[in-house]
Structure 1
Amino acid sequence: MSVKTIILIGLLVFVPISVAAHLMHMGALVVFATAALAILPLAAWMGTATEEIAVVSGPTLGGLLNATFGNATELIIALIALNAGLIEVVKASITGSILGNLLLVMGLSMFLGGLRYKEQEFQPVLARLNASSMNLAVIAILLPTAVNFTSTGIEESQMQRLSAAVAVVLIGVYLLTLLFSMKTHSYLCEAGEVDLDLNEEGEDAAGHRPNLWLWTGVLLGATLLVALESELLVGALEEATEQLGLTQLFTGVILLPIIGNAAEHATAVTVAMKNKMDLSVSVAVGSSLQIALFVAPVLVLAGWVMGQPMDLNFNPFELVAVAVAVLIANSISSDGRSNWLEGSLLLATYAVLSLAFFFHPIVEGIG
């Protein structure tokens, strides 16, 4: 049993602890902290279960499963926050997920991988395609905000209709990217697949085949528990952030994405240190694309169904941060090579943006 597995099993103790803290009214800060710690291993088990099921189900269905459940934890947290009416927190978490993947995850991967290997390579063609997709995502979330900024008296319902229409377009683009990566140009994306050391029958080197029913049960169980813990986390969010002296903007942009995506972040960094930068970049950029092209549009449409005014009219400062992240990430990844200095530049950018969000004053609708 690996050290990682032992740690993940150990962290599961926070699931009953967080429930007990809630039932015993031990305070919002305790509930928030224990629920956050409980989500970390649950998210990891969801990811592992998805990968194991993908092995048995074959490359096409497996790729679809990975694409669908890749950011399931973040989506669940955001849906519960959306249902609670924390619209600005949800928007901030979308921003933070993109920033975290492009700057923190890719930066750590390039930095730590670059310390072990002088220079690492990944496919520049795929990097350029991902860059174009991210540019589209930035444009899509920029335009509704620009419409609101340049118009006078635009109604909230009209902004929601515009955002819903844009969301449908983005989901269409996301489906096209799945078709491209899984079918028509799958050879370009093979390096981005998880290396499970399996043969054609879905067995590992020892001849073991993943148990489909077992891992399906693990996936369902972990998903339900993530939903429970997310309910506790969101319920304690406002009071806990106030006690910590943090704005909900900072919490949404920095803390929630790290909580929801820690397991995936660890995977990207680990494979980079094994000189598999293709896979690492695929995880980081692919996750950002999934947030921008799938999770954000789904949240807009879900807000429509829930009666919550969720739209793509973001805080202008959040848009600036996303544009900066996409610009520097595209610039660094365009040549298909990386080193520790480029990683440190991405990390420095993330640190500067984090400080800016920390000191950003509370504005109307946030906090």
Structure 2
Amino acid sequence: EEARYLGRHKLSKHERPEPLYDQAEAEACMALFQPVAFEEDAKVGDIRFQLWPVGHILGAASVIIEADGKRVGFSGDVGRLDDVFMKPPKPLPALDMLMLESTYGNRRHDSTDPFSQLADIINTTVDKGGNVLIPSFAVGRAQVLQHMLTTLMQEGRIPTLPIYLDSPMAINVSEIYCRYEDQHKLNIAQCHDMCGTVHYSRSVDDSKALADQIYPHVIIAGSGMATGGRILHHFKRLLNKPRTTVLFAGYQAGGTRGAKMVAGAETVKIHGEWIPVKARVEVLDGLSGHADFVEMEQWLAQSDLAPETPIYLIHGDPEALEAMRDHLRQSTRFEVEVAGYQSIVRV
């Protein structure tokens, strides 16, 4: 869609912009995948491994590798102990070494109830006759938002209003979440309520038709940091209207369009055009899929790790890595280091 749009409007540096891959290539690569169940023993060459449920998003796993009599864990993205949607991460088995993510190594999650915060934002916007635009990641965040909005309407905490999911990928993922309800906290009835309440905009024409909506409504669309996707087309229509609310429901990386808007940018560039930001910009706290440093410590305490297990921190900004290292050194007996670039570690 984006390649066609950029080519049609001459917005690309390429004379004929092409997508990185097409549908046929995406479908063909699926033949290379082999499903592995959680905690199933699997083998590649002389290395054995298991995937350990870690609660970040549907299917997220730590990888436990065994070779030469040693067992090494790679945490992957670790979910929260009290996530709105996902089950808590399963405690780890005994390991000889752990590579541990530290995304929230220097931050605690806000204790504000995300349902109440979302209800306040929706009600304030509807009261002034505006619309809510939510840039969202297609996997995980879009499904949580659907569930929350559906629940709030069922409980009468927000008015019944149209909610549109304008992301083909998020729509497909939502249906997958409903297919595997045993992997998260929602039961089958809640899954069907979530998918049945929200209007799915699958085609480009469906997306364009949202411009004809005159009453207050909510649009959830990709991408989560407003770097691309269908949300940009809605931004072009509605960012210059003071009654609009833009609600960011996830971390905004530095330099992204989302980060600039959260920081108070008065204009943003979309498809070569500078758009004034007169909309109200809000951030929904408490929906991160990553455990913070205290939750991470609690998860480690629940695991069967020996006190002297070496831990190497990865996947965090420099400040987060250092803060996580210092916290774990002070509060645990683990041997904690920050992984060095291209360093070699021997177990």
Structure (1 or 2) with the larger CA radius of gyration: 2
Structure (1/2) with the larger helix percentage: 1
Structure (1/2) with the larger strand percentage: 2
TM-score by length of 2: 0.25
TM-score by length of 1: 0.24
Q: Which has the higher contact order (CA 8 A, sep 6+)?
A: 1
